[in-house]
A and B are shown apart, each in its own frame.
Chain A
Amino acid sequence: MDKTWQRAENASGNNDLEMFQAGFARVIGGAPAYVLPLSLTSYGMPVERRLDVYRNNVHLSLADVLAGNFPVVKQLVGEEFFSAMAGVFLQTHLPRQAGLIGFGETFPDFLDGFEPAHALPYLPDVARFEWAWIGAAKAKDAPVLDPTRLGDVTADRIGELRFTLHPSCRLVSSRFPIVSLWQRSIAGEDLAGLAFEDNGEAVALFRPQLDVLQRPLTPGGFEFLKALADGCALDVGAERAATHDDFDIEHSLETELVAALGAGLFSDFKLPDAAN
């Protein structure tokens, strides 16, 4: 026995298990053992060192999940920095559900505000790219749209088409060259020589079968797909895209559409009833 532990007040009517779990949740966050409403036996090792096993398990296992979901972010900042950064993140962002496939969704936004990492201003966008990649990899399986289904659409109504992006499709755009950066990092190549300023990139990540594919997008091409993802008809999407110099309604619309159909970026389409 180490010593007499201070016992928390047990207000009458509270379940002892609930009181214990409320206290233990605080212990995991760093509170000492005396916040628990019951005392612990020691058997040699001091109680606080024993509780450290649980504190470490929680921290290390969740930091591992984050590192697994954001391997390039980890590579860019180094293992030690990543572990410390994960510690700060976990103080305020414990998982909201037990399945951890969805853990890390708020990590890119956290990085926006994480000052110690501001020397790498592209880091949050790299995290967004990695999150999009996971989203594409884990999305529900679905067949891609067979382009021959569009055979009955007459030329005068093409602009009214509304496409459904494939459920795996994720669109990412950055003012930094995130695609090149990610590819070089994954390949273990040096980042020296990569121009970061005025060299933005955009990409569609999608998984028509089992492997995640990437389709580089121009600024107009990104705007175009973004509009379609928002539910816009083809002609509205083209108008939005045409605000970018690289997108010309006459030519780009057709080439972008044919390329997207061929790649398998869509899973379905709708044509509003002509009578309406």
Chain B
Amino acid sequence: MFPRPHQSFRALDPIPARAGIGLKGEHMDDVLDTQPALGWFEVHPENYMNSGGMLHDRLEKIRDLYPLSLHGVGLSLGTYGPLDRAHLLRLKELETRYQPGLISEHLAWCRYKDSHFNDLLPLPLTQSALDVMVAHVDEMQEVLGRQVLIENPSTYIAFDGVEMSEPEFLAALASRSGCGLLLDINNVYVSAQNHGFDAVDYLRRFPVAAVQEIHLAGHALEVRDGHEIRIDDHGSKVSQEVWQLYRFYLQQAGPVPTLIEWDTNVPSLAVLQEQAALADVELSGGPLIGSPHGAADGMFAPLLGGQHG
């Protein structure tokens, strides 16, 4: 009743260095009807951790047409203590079923004992946090039988007396576990604004060689008690500042598979395609080609002005 005739071709699809979009349930029929010219799709495996029904039927059909990436939000790699083995095995089932080109997770935690918070919570970047992350990434890669990517989170708090910067921490994690990295440039910008560090400097320190995927998304600027804070809500178009940082990064690193994420107030598929098309323009060299690093610095001067207190 539910045979999948094309499964044997799926493994031949790595994620290309093009723009893809986060696949939402409300867009699946539209994708199948119109088969848009997008490089790839990404889904949260947590939304597919049951075995049947409409969503799986649609995802199977879309997987037959496009490369797919699984982007986990629930494994809680940063939680002290044993990894949630049952969750990891459910992820493994999805890996076997959908043969994704990439699997990623976060530098974050979301579980304490048996309670799940459904949010990417911040980790103090200490030696003991690094030991826990390395052990859990090792276990994840061993169970899945592949290298995974770990993403930098957006954060709203920072800790006194931290032992490492985020780029240092992620470089050490990649070096010790052999994992790759997923660089979320919107998260870099949101965290930089929220904590007053220099986003360009962060990108310069980031271990470029380990980066295999980029995320771009919109965020919200909120004012609370008279103070501004940027919230990573994935609920709008990618901001101009983030596009500029993206351009700067590509000039340093060359093209990387790039995902447009949009998870709240989800617009039509056409709007997501427009955002992906903008990323594709940047990936193919951008509208302004050949800007040397010095010129890029000049471009950032107004953007970053006033941040260095």
Contacts and interface: CB of A to CB of B under 8 A. Distances in A.
A98 B229 contact: no
Nearest to A38: B159
B116 interface: yes
B80 A15 contact: yes
A22 B78 CA distance: 13
Contacts of A210: 53-54, 57
Interface string B279-300: 0000000000000000000000
B241 to A, nearest CB: 18
B221 interface: no
- Among A41, A61, A62, the most chain B Cβ lie within 10 Å of the Cβ of A41
Interface string B59-77: 0000000000000011110
A62 B119 CA distance: 9
A51 B75 CA distance: 22
A138 B195 contact: no
B159 A40 contact: yes
Interface in B250-298: none
28 contacts: A15-B80, A17-B128, A18-B80, A21-B80, A28-B121, A38-B160, A39-B159, A40-B158, A40-B160, A43-B158, A45-B224, A45-B225, A46-B225, A53-B229, A61-B119, A94-B115, A97-B86, A98-B73, A98-B76, A98-B87, A98-B118, A99-B87, A101-B46, A137-B54, A138-B50, A141-B1, A141-B52, A143-B1
A139 B52 contact: yes
B49 A99 contact: yes
Given A25-B113, A140-B52, 5 more contacts: A43-B194, A58-B117, A96-B114, A99-B47, A210-B57
Contacts of A28: 117, 121
A251 interface: no
- In this complex, the interface size class of chain B, counting residues with CB under 8 Å from chain A, is 35 or more
Interface residues of A, number: 51
Interface in B177-223: 194-196
B160 A17 contact: no
B156 A53 contact: yes
A28 to B, nearest CB: 6
B53 A137 contact: yes
A258 interface: no
Given A65-B118, A99-B90, A40 B157 contact: yes
Interface in B152-172: 156-161
B2 interface: yes
Interface of A: 15-18, 20-22, 24-25, 28, 38-41, 43-47, 49-54, 57-58, 61-62, 65, 94-102, 137-143, 168, 207, 209-211
Contact of A95 (B75, B118, B132, B229): B118
B118 A61 contact: yes
A24 B132 contact: no
Contacts of B84: 97-98
Contacts of B117: 25, 28, 58, 94
Contacts of A137: 53-54
- Among B81, B121, B194, B195, the most chain A Cβ lie within 10 Å of the Cβ of B121
Contacts of A54: 119, 121-122, 156-157
A98 to B, nearest CB: 3
B34 interface: no
A98 B1 contact: no
A57 B110 CA distance: 12
B124 A43 contact: no
B126 interface: yes
A52 B224 contact: yes
B110 A50 contact: no
A100 B123 CA distance: 23
A97 B225 contact: no
A24 B157 CA distance: 12
Contacts of A95: 115-116, 118
Contact of A51 (B1, B52, B157): B157
Nearest to B226: A45
A17 B115 contact: no
Contact of A15 (B1, B46, B114, B128): B128
Contacts of A143: 1
Nearest to A51: B157
B195 to A, nearest CB: 5
A96 B118 CA distance: 11
Contact of B227 (A25, A45, A97, A99): A45
Contacts of A97: 84, 86-87, 116
B47 A50 contact: no
A30 to B, nearest CB: 13
B144 interface: no
A209 B156 CA distance: 45
A94 B111 CA distance: 10
Contact of B112 (A22, A52, A53): A22
